[in-house]
Amino acid sequence: MSAIAREAGALLMQYFHQKLKIEYKGEADLVTAADRASEALIRERIAAQFPTHDVLGEEQGLNERGGDYRWYVDPLDGTTNFAHGYPVFCVSMALEHWPSQDRHAGRPGKRVAAVVYDPTRDELFAAEQGRGAQLNGSAIHVSKTGELRQSLVATGFPSHKRHKNPNIYFYHQITLRTHGVRRAGSAALDLCCVAAGRFEGFWEFNLNPWDTAAGVLIIEEAGGRVTRFDGSAFELNSRETLASNGLIHDALLHEFQEIFAGRGLEPIPDPRRS
Ligand code: IPD
Ligand code: CA
Ligand code: CA
C-alpha cells in the first residue's frame, strides 16, 4: 500500500508543477486530470496484485469483484488546494475486510490497513489494525492535552450543498473555546494530524468513505477516538466525523450538544465595540 501511495504521490507532484485545467463536478466541486490519473494508477496496481478485491474510488466509483476485501481510495484529497497551487493535499487509501456473510447480514466491515501520503512533505502515515500507527516508519501517538481550551483543532467544509451546511456556527463556537480551528482543506491530512498529536481534534459534516477510511484507522491505532456527533460508533457512511485524542472527546461532544441546541445563534457582534 505504501509503495502504491508513494507512486501516486509522485505522479501528483508532476502534475502540481503544471498549469492544469480545472473542471467542475458541482458549483465548487473541482476535479483535474491529476485526480483521474492518480486513481487510474492506484486501480491498476491494486488489480495487478489483488485481482479479487473491490475498489471504491472517488472518481470511478465502486468496482465490485466479489472478494472479501474492499479498498477506499481518494486519489487526491485536497483538490481545491492542489488546483490553486496551495501545497496541502495527499493520497488516501484504506483496506477493509468485509466478508460476504457480514455484508449480507448488514454488519460493517473491519478496518485492516491504511496509508495517507503527503507528497509535498514526503510524509507517509500508515496503520495496521492492532499494530499501531507510524509516520515515515516511526510510531506516532495522539496528544496528551486534556483541556479543550488548550487544544488546536481542525475542520473542513464540503464543496457540495454548501448553503445547507451548519458548520460555520460550529467553527465560530469552537474557535472561542480552543486555541483555534484550522481549515487546511484535506480531511485525510487533518485526521493524520490528530493521530500525530499536531491537532487535538477534528470534525466535519458529510465526508465520504474515501475521505475518512484511512485517517480513522490511523487515529484509532495512534490511541485516539472517532465517533458521530452524538458519541455513537463511527461508520464509514455516518456522514458525521468527530475525531480526537480521546481526552477532549467528551468536552467536544458536550459543545456539539449545546450548539445543536441553539447556543451561539445571537446577533452578529459589532467589531467596532470593545
Ligand atoms: C475534500 C477535502 C476537504 C473537505 C471536503 C472534501 P477532495 O476532498 O478533504 O478538506 O473539507 O469535504 O470533499 O474533494 O479534495 O478530495
Ligand atoms: Ca477527499
Ligand atoms: Ca479527492
Distance between CA atoms of 152 and 252, rounded to whole angstroms? 12
Q: Give 188 Cα–ligand 2 centroid separation in angstroms.
A: 7
CATH 3.60.15.10 matches 2-139? no
Instruction: Name the residue at shortest CA distance from atom 6 of ligand 1.
Output: 158
Are the C-beta atoms of 154 and 183 separated by less than 8 Å?
yes
Give the pLDDT confidence of 101-122 residue by residue, as tens digits: 898 898 889 999 999 999 999 9
Domain boundaries, given as residue ranges, for the chain: 2-139, 148-261
In ligand 1, which atom is closest to the CA atom of 184?
A: 10
Give the pLDDT confidence of 58-90 residue by residue, as tens digits: 999 999 888 899 999 999 999 999 999 999 999
Q: Give 53 Cα–ligand 2 centroid separation in angstroms.
A: 21
Confidence at residue 28, expressed as pLDDT on a 0 to 100 scale: 67
Ligand with smallest separation from the Cα of 42: 3
CATH 3.40.1280.10 matches 148-261? no
Give the pLDDT confidence of 35-46 residue by residue, as tens digits: 999 999 999 999
104-113: Cβ within 8 A, 24+ apart: 108/235, 108/236, 109/70, 111/213, 111/216, 111/217, 111/220, 112/69, 112/217, 113/1, 113/217
In ligand 1, which atom is closest to the CA atom of 207?
A: 12
* Mean pLDDT on 219-246: 97
Q: Which residues pair with 26 in a beta bridge?
A: 29
Instruction: Name the residue at shortest CA distance from atom 5 of ligand 1.
Output: 158
Instruction: Name the residue at shortest CA distance from atom 11 of ligand 1.
Output: 156
Query: Is the shortest distance between the CB of 187 and ligand 1 below 6 Å?
Result: yes
DSSP 87: -
- What is the percent of the chain where pLDDT is above 90? 81
CB atoms within 10 A of CB 27: 10
Query: Is the shortest distance between the CB of 83 and ligand 1 below 6 Å?
Result: no
Instruction: Name the residue at shortest CA distance from atom 2 of ligand 1.
Output: 186
